[in-house]
Every structure is written in structure tokens, then in C-alpha cells.
Amino acid sequence: MVKSKIKGFIVNNNSLWSDAIYRLSRNKAAMFGGVILILLIISAVLAPWIAPYSYSYQDLNLGASPPSSEHLLGTDILGRDLLSRILYGARISLLVGFVATGVALVIGVSWGIIAGYIGGKVDSIMMRIVDVLYGLPFIIFIILLMVIFGRNLWLLFGAIGAVEWLTMARIVRAQVIGLKNQEFVMAAKAMGVSNISMFRRHLLPNILGPIAVYATLTIPQVMLLEGFLSFLGLGIQPPMSSWGTLIKDGVESMEEYGWLLIYPGVTFTITLFALNFFGDGLRDALDPKTSDN
Amino acid sequence: MLAIFVRRILIAIPVLFAVASITFFLIKIAPGGPFDADRAVSPQVLKNLNEAYNLDASNWEQYLDYMSALMQGDMGPSFRFPGRSVTEMIATGLPVTFELAFYAILIALVMGIFSGVLAALKRNTFLDFIPMAIAMIGICVPTFLMGPLLVLIFGINLEILPVSGWGQLPGDKILPSLTLGFAYAAYIARLSRGGMLEVLNQDFIRTARAKGLTERMIVIKHAMQGGLIPVVSFLGPAIAGLLAGSFVVETIFQIPGLGRFYVEAAFNRDYTMILGTTIFFSAMIVFFNLMSDLAALWLNPRSRDL
């Protein structure tokens, strides 16, 4: 795609993606974030096998004990192994991050493509709806839904996803409008390509870059939102643990047992750092023009 | 300008009306009545309660009653605190939350703009890297972690600031305001750095330099007016975020504000209180978004005819 010749001299013979991967691999902060993310995802997936104890196994005689060789990160007030709870918590926190972002992606991308491609009245109505929804305090509606329908994990995914799609819809729409008038799209239209395959074959592949970038930057926001709800006691319910609930438990006993706050807090923060660095790096790699530097 | 204002208000009114209606009916379909408490209530008492709270009328009648009372600012009685009306509770919590939000915004603006503008002017030096690194920390450390950490450091270990309360001990407003303000300071620092960098490269800045204005004049009088537009547009959404932040901060520091009332109402299933605060928060946020958009328009005349 980026095949360009200047004075007969081949400058760049790579595709957009391999070019982006090359640039990404040169960005140390992004690579660092990426490695941490991969490690986290692997350990979350393998949690049942690598966690030293079950997340709900209690050793009440032990109570809250500081880090030791038996319990690398110590135990909580019910004698549960903190490392195991953080590993199992990673499953929930990352799952919320990915699934809710997925929900946001599906809604946002479809909304944006339809509005941008059809244009006219449909577009202005659809985007006006987005504008109106933007101005509402969605956090309150998530809390409302959790209160009314119970604190259900899938409802949480859906509710967070249903909130985070708005920006995605705007980004996708702007991209589609830019593409719509290009020759290859007109050619495809002239050849009688149906709307569905127009979206799938011609529009979607060309906007994957911005979508990937925005999705990576949505995941930490979603995880923050889940942490926020769980911290207030309105998200994940015990005995399941997410990082938000672990931080909440840590805060309750932080005066005596500081490690119960510090370790989950550090894990959460490092993950958010990693996601933000990786997302920023991906943005710079795919579109060097928008880079801050 | 006036036309935009009027149009936005005309959109806002039906939106708020829809929010109130949807919330009302959502709460009506919620499983369980408001009086399904831990202890069973005798049928006669339940009947009296339902009568007192107008729950024996049809949903439609209740809706009409609620909406007409709402127009007059009456949000009905609280289900959990007999004898107190929702309007009254909002009125007691609001000043506290406003004060907290005001200090937080003030801290965010002063810290954020100062470090952002400085970073843009001293680009690629330590005065750029260090504030921006701190800003990244501010963005990645969530409020619900920052608050407890500040308490742990300044309240428990150093024992120099009170760990909770609002207006009871000297200095007890410092930690909550810092906790809430810090994350926004980080965003504002990044936004003002970006905005300033864009403006500083433009021709009118070069003209100002060529005229021989002092650097201070250029920055304060010319660059900041344009460079800070992103910050102004951010303030509307930031107020919405501050609200969510106030839930956390008021819970951590046990501050009797609106945010804590809302979280408690959510826990207690105090439906009238939830309904009232949801409508109130929505109205407030729609209002602040409107204000911040208008301020951004006012600062950037080119976007006025959009």
C-alpha cells in the first residue's frame, strides 16, 4: 500500500501493517507495555494452573499474614493467598476490559459505518443521537442498571460497552466519510457491489488502523470503570475478585496490612500504564502524523 | 451565538424529560418493592405505606403525579429516611459536593495549565519530561487508589493531615480536593501542552515575536488564548467525570455530599432518592456541557458558524 518511488529510488516497499509493526518495535515504551500485557494475559488465562491456591481457599488460622515463602504476596484477613487472588482477579479485570471493549466496538463501528456511508438525513439523526448521549452522565446509568437488575457480570459487560461506543462511532464515521469519495469505493459502487460487501471488503479493512488504536485505548478506560464500580461495591461481588474489589478490600485494612492495598494497586496501575503506552505506540506507529512528538 | 444557545436549550429540555421518564419506568420494573426490607411488614402496614407513598395508584398515574411535582421542584419523599424529602437531601448534599468540586477544578486548572504551558515552552527538556511523566501517573493511578495512598502517606504515616471528614478539622479539605483534582490536572496538563505546541508554531505568534513583544506577553496574551481552547472544551466533560470522582472521594473520606448520598441510595435501594439524584445529575451535566461549549465558541470565533 505504501509503495512509493521518489526519483526511481524505492523508499518504502512495505505494507501499512508491516511498516507499523516495524515502527512499533522501535518504540521502547510501547514494546515494554506490550510484553507486560502478553505476560498478564498468559498468567490470567493460566491462573487455575499457576496460582498456588484457589481464590476462595481460606486458612482462617493464618489470618492476614505478610508476604512469606508460603504466600509470596501474603494473605488477606480471611487467610486467602493474595497472589492467587490477584491472578484470578486478572481474569475478571481483563475479561471486562476486552469483552466490554468488544461490545463497544461492535456497536460503535456499525453505527459509524452506517451513518458515514449513508450520509444525509440518516447521518445527521444518528450523529445527533450520539451528541445527546455524550452529554449524559452515563456512570449514573450503569449504577442504576446494576441496582435494578442485580450485580450480574454480563450485565456489567453490556452496560459498560453500551457507554463506551460513542467515541468509536464518531471516529469511524469521520473515516468512512473520508473514504466514501475515493475512486476505489466509487468503482466498487459502479460495479454493483452490495452494501454488505462494501462494508466488509472495502470500508472495514481501510479503517482497521484507527479502530485498533482506539480499542487499545478504550480497554484501560473500561478497566478503570470496572474498578470504580467494584470499589464502590456495585461491581464484581465476593468471593469472586477483580482488581477493583481487591483494592477495596485493601483500603479497608490498609492501616494494619498495607500490602493488601499495595500489591493489587501496583498490579492495576502497571497494567493501565502498559495499555496506555501500547495504545499510544500503536497510534504513533499507524499514523505518524498524529504523533505528539 | 444566541441562536446556538437557544437551539441547544431546545434540545436539552426534551432530553432531560426523556431521562426522567426512562429512569422512572426503569425503577418501576425493578424487581422487589421498596419495602421488601429484612423484616417482614404486616399487610396492613404495607397497605398504609403504599398509600402514603402513592404506590397503589397505577404506574401511569404515579408517573403523571411525579412529573408534575418535579416541575415544581418536588422529588417526593425518601423511601429510606422517612420524613425527609429527596429535594431536601439534595439541597444539603449539594453545597458540600460543589465546594469539593470547586477546589478540585481549581487545583486541576492551576497545576495543569502551569505545567502544561511550561512543558510546551521548554519542549524536550527536563521541564517537559518530568511534568508529563507525572501527568501519565495521574492518568494511570485511579482516584480510588490515589485517595487511599494519600491517606496512608499524609494521614497515617506522617500524621500531618486528617484522614476523613469535611470542615470539622483544620486541613481536612486538602486531601479530598487533591485526590479529586490530581487526575484532572494530569489531563489538563496534556491538553494544554498539546494546544500550546500547536499555537506556538503559527504565523501570528511569529508576527508577535517580530513586533518585538516580550516572550511573557506572547505567551500570556496571544498563545494561551488559542492554546487553551482544548482545556475549555474539556471542562464540560470533566465536570461529569468529577461527579463520578466525587462518589469515590466522598466515600473514601466520609464526606456528607451528594455523591455519597447517591452511592448510599444505590445500596439501600432508596428508589425515590436514586430517581431524584439521577434526574438532578443529568440536568447539571447537560447544563455544564452547554456552558463549556459556549465558552469554547466564545474563545474560538472561527467555529461560531458551525
| Chain A contact set for B247 (CB, 8 A) | 139, 228, 232
Inter-chain CB proximity A148 and B30 less than 8 Å: yes
* Residue A6, in any domain of the structure: no
Taking CA atoms, what residue in B is nearest to A293?
A: B124
In this complex, the residue of B140, B156, B282 whose CB is nearest that of residue A276 is B140
Per-residue pLDDT reduced to its tens digit, B142-186: 888 999 999 888 888 888 888 888 888 888 888 999 999 988 999
In this complex, the residue of B144, B269, B282 whose CB is nearest that of residue A137 is B282
- Amino acid A268: pLDDT: 92
> Which H or E run contains A5?
strand A4-6
- Amino acid B272: pLDDT: 83
CB contacts under 8 A, B 182-201 vs A, are: 194
CATH number at residue A234: 1.10.3720.10
Mean pLDDT for chain B overall: 83
| Chain A contact set for B263 (CB, 8 A) | 143, 232, 234
**Position B125 confidence tier, pLDDT thresholds 50, 70, 90:** confident
Taking CA atoms, what residue in A is nearest to B262?
A: A140
A161 is in which domain, residue-wise?
Answer: 33-52+72-286
Taking CA atoms, what residue in A is nearest to B22?
A: A141
* Cross-strand pairs, A4: A12
**Position B302 confidence tier, pLDDT thresholds 50, 70, 90:** low
- Could you give the 3-state DSSP secondary structure of residue B255? coil
- Amino acid B106: pLDDT: 93
Inter-chain CB proximity B251 and A143 less than 8 Å: no
Number of structural domains (chain A) is 1
* Residue A133, in any domain of the structure: yes
| Chain A contact set for B262 (CB, 8 A) | 140, 143
Among A271, A274, A250, residue whose Cα is nearest residue A85: A250
Inter-chain CB proximity B11 and A254 less than 8 Å: no
| Chain A contact set for B266 (CB, 8 A) | 143-144, 146-147, 232, 234
Provide mean pLDDT across the span B44-49: 75
Inter-chain CB proximity B267 and A265 less than 8 Å: no
Cα dist. B306→A167, A169, B81, B221, B301 in Å? Answer: 20, 20, 49, 26, 10
| Chain B contact set for A292 (CB, 8 A) | 194
**Position B306 confidence tier, pLDDT thresholds 50, 70, 90:** very low
- CB pairs < 8 Å spanning A and B: 111
d(C-alpha B238, C-alpha B164), whole Å = 24
> Which H or E run contains A274?
helix A259-286
In this complex, the residue of A134, A143, A258 whose CB is nearest that of residue B266 is A143
Provide mean pLDDT across the span B119-123: 88
Provide mean pLDDT across the span B127-156: 87
Inter-chain CB proximity B15 and A265 less than 8 Å: no
Using the predicted structure, report yes or no on whether residue B300 has a pLDDT greater than 60.
yes
**Position B38 confidence tier, pLDDT thresholds 50, 70, 90:** low
Among B272, B276, B277, B279, residue whose Cα is nearest residue B52: B272
DSSP type of residue B36 = -
| Chain B contact set for A224 (CB, 8 A) | 142
d(C-alpha B117, C-alpha B113), whole Å = 6
* Residue A7, in any domain of the structure: no
Inter-chain CB proximity B267 and A233 less than 8 Å: yes
| Chain B contact set for A134 (CB, 8 A) | 289
Inter-chain CB proximity B140 and A269 less than 8 Å: yes
* Residue A57, in any domain of the structure: no
**Position B107 confidence tier, pLDDT thresholds 50, 70, 90:** very high
CB atoms within 10 A of CB B299: 15
Q: Best of A142, A146, A148, A166 to disrupt the B interface by mutation (most B CBs within 10 Å)?
A: A148
| Chain A contact set for B27 (CB, 8 A) | 144, 148
Could you tell me if B19 lies within 8 Å of chain A, comparing CB atoms? yes
Per-residue pLDDT reduced to its tens digit, B60-106: 888 888 888 888 878 877 777 777 888 888 888 899 999 999 999 99
Cα dist. A131→A55, A134, B290 in Å? Answer: 43, 5, 12
In this complex, the residue of A148, A248, A255 whose CB is nearest that of residue B27 is A148
- Amino acid A146: pLDDT: 81
Contact between A271 and A223 (Cβ < 8 Å): yes
Inter-chain CB proximity B30 and A273 less than 8 Å: no
Provide mean pLDDT across the span B263-279: 84
DSSP type of residue A240 = S
Could you tell me if B134 lies within 8 Å of chain A, comparing CB atoms? no
- Amino acid B34: pLDDT: 60
In this complex, the residue of A227, A254, A276 whose CB is nearest that of residue B152 is A254
| Chain B contact set for A228 (CB, 8 A) | 142-144, 244, 247-248
Inter-chain CB proximity B145 and A269 less than 8 Å: yes
Low-confidence ranges of chain A (pLDDT < 50): 1-5, 291-293
A27-33, long-range: CB within 8 Å, 24+ apart, which pairs? Answer: A27/A281, A27/A284, A27/A285, A29/A277, A29/A280, A29/A281, A30/A277, A30/A278, A30/A280, A30/A281, A30/A282, A30/A284, A30/A285, A31/A281, A32/A274, A32/A277, A33/A273, A33/A274, A33/A275, A33/A276, A33/A277, A33/A278, A33/A281
* Residue A213, in any domain of the structure: yes
- Amino acid A14: pLDDT: 63
* Residue A239, in any domain of the structure: yes
- Amino acid B105: pLDDT: 92
| Chain B contact set for A148 (CB, 8 A) | 26-27, 29-31
- Amino acid A11: pLDDT: 54
- Amino acid B188: pLDDT: 92
* Interface list for chain A against chain B, based on CB atoms closer than 8 Å: 132, 134-137, 139-141, 143-150, 220, 224, 227-228, 231-234, 244, 247-248, 250-251, 254-255, 258, 261, 265, 268-269, 272-273, 276, 292
* Residue A23, in any domain of the structure: no
**Position B110 confidence tier, pLDDT thresholds 50, 70, 90:** very high
* Residue A9, in any domain of the structure: no
DSSP type of residue A75 = B
